[in-house]
Amino acid sequence: MGKISDRSRAEFYDSMIEKREKEIAKLQQKISDCHEYDKVCKQRQQALTSTSSLLDDILSEGRISDANLRMLVSGVTVHQNEDKSLDVQFEMNGDFADSTMIIFEPAF
């Protein structure tokens, strides 16, 4: 409204409005990014909750059955090093970590 009555400062008002519109666009993009991040986090939480439930079920049995092991692990790689130590790599199924490396030292 002030712009209408003050023609001499119209350029100043235009630049101020343009600056605010750019800030609004940046904030809207941040909000959109936050919504997407929230969506991804909720999906990941749901996947981890099902994984946690599966692990709780396995632990409640007191021992791991062959079927449970097959649900958790897709493959095991064992490599004996020159110093007689073993490298054992578990390739996990599903939403578990990429892989786990366990090194066994020789028991001489």
Residues 6 and 46 in one domain: yes
Q: How does pLDDT run across 17-63, given as a tens digit for each residue?
A: 999 999 999 999 999 999 999 998 898 888 778 778 877 887 888 78
Residues 55 and 89 in one domain: no
Residues 69 and 59 in one domain: no
Residues 92 and 102 in one domain: yes
| Number of other CB atoms surrounding residue 27 within 10 Å | 10
Residues 98 and 74 in one domain: yes
Number of structural domains found in the chain:
2
Average pLDDT across the chain, whole number: 80
Give the DSSP letter of residue 106.
P
Higher per-residue pLDDT: 2 or 49 = 49
Domain that includes residue 41, residue range: 1-63
pTM above 0.75, yes or no: no
